[in-house]
């Protein structure tokens, strides 16, 4: 399931992040790439140890937990601390698949990457190119969102970022381990959740069909979820 979430960050929150990044020191983006993807990666990013990256990562995580659609779609169990990258002057990232396991530096925690996330911090009019192209069962999906919007997609997907030929594309990116490993099962739960929310708004929380479908949702979670 590929899902775009608008305004995960407000315009004011985006401005705050961008202002903090003005004083950051960027390094070669190959630092966090695997052996294969390092051969295709041409961008810059903040070091994982950067105090600015850590503070802004916490800021983004606080916003995510207040986004019901993100929680419903991702069903997050563990989230890798958000990282930050910049593409400019022809920077791009060739076709690759994300590493299956990510180790959080300085801890013993490892995360299975079920879902990949890109949170755009630059408006599309500010740069040319820089589309995130994701290959899925319906063909290539080209994603270029407004600042503050997020795209969520399976980490199993082949994807690439096209060259940025004007301006700079700044984003946050991270991965998460979902309580529900299987993408198809997550998609069914998300569709069911959204249908329950719609029905509840029309018929009320105590309507028998809302109660019945909520029971189905939670019983499926018991069957499929890891905690």
Same domain, 17 and 120: yes
Q: Do residues 172 and 200 both lie within one domain?
A: no
Residues 213 and 172 grouped into a single domain = no
The CATH number for 77's domain is 2.60.120.620
Q: Give which of 2, 98, 110, 120 is closest to 41, Cα–Cα.
A: 98
- Same domain? For 109 and 193 the reply is no
What local confidence, expressed as pLDDT, does residue 158 receive?
A: 96
Q: Residue 50 — φ and ψ, nearest 5°?
A: -65, 125
Same domain, 190 and 174: no
pLDDT for position 32: 64
Determine contact, residues 83/199, Cβ cutoff 8 Å: no
pLDDT in tens, the chain (227 residues): 999 999 999 999 999 999 999 989 999 887 666 566 666 788 999 999 999 999 999 999 999 999 999 999 999 999 999 999 999 999 999 999 999 999 999 899 999 999 999 999 999 999 999 999 999 888 899 999 999 999 999 999 999 999 999 999 999 999 999 999 999 999 999 999 999 999 999 999 999 999 999 999 999 999 999 98
What's the pLDDT at 136?
84
Same domain, 139 and 212: no
Regarding whether 193 and 166 lie in a shared domain, the answer is: no
207 shares a domain with 129: no
Looking at the structure, tell me whether residues 102 and 136 fall in a common domain.
Answer: yes
Residue (of 4, 44, 16) closest to 152 by Cα position: 4
What is the CATH number for 197? 4.10.860
Determine contact, residues 53/83, Cβ cutoff 8 Å.
Answer: yes
Together in a domain, 167 and 211: no
Q: What is the extent of the structural domain holding 209?
A: 183-224
> 189 and 128 in one domain?
no
Domains of the chain: total: 2
Q: Are residues 190 and 163 in the same domain?
A: no
The predicted model scores a pTM of 0.93
């Amino acid at each position: 399931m590929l899902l775009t979430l608008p305004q995960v960050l407000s315009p004011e929150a985006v401005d705050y992040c961008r202002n903090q990044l003005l004083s950051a020191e960027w390094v070669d983006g190959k630092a966090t790439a695997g052996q294969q993807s390092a051969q295709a990666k041409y961008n810059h990013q903040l070091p994982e140890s950067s105090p600015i990256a850590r503070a802004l990562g916490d800021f983004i995580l606080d916003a995510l937990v207040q986004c019901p659609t993100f929680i419903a779609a991702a069903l997050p169990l563990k989230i890798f601390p958000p990282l930050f990258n910049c593409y400019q002057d022809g920077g791009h990232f060739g076709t690759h698949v994300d590493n299956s396991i990510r180790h959080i530096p300085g801890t013993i925690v490892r995360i299975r990457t079920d879902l990949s996330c890109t949170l755009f911090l630059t408006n599309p009019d500010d740069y040319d190119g820089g589309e995130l192209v994701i290959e899925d069962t319906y063909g290539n999906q080209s994603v270029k969102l407004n600042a503050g919007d997020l795209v969520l997609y399976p980490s199993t997907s082949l994807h690439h970022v096209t060259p940025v030929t004007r301006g700079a594309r700044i984003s946050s990116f991270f991965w998460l381990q979902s309580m529900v490993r299987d993408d198809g099962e997550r998609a069914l739960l998300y569709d069911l959740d959204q249908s329950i929310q719609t029905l509840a708004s029309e018929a009320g929380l105590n309507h028998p069909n809302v109660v019945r479908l909520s029971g189905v949702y939670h019983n499926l979670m018991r069957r499929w979820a890891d905690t």
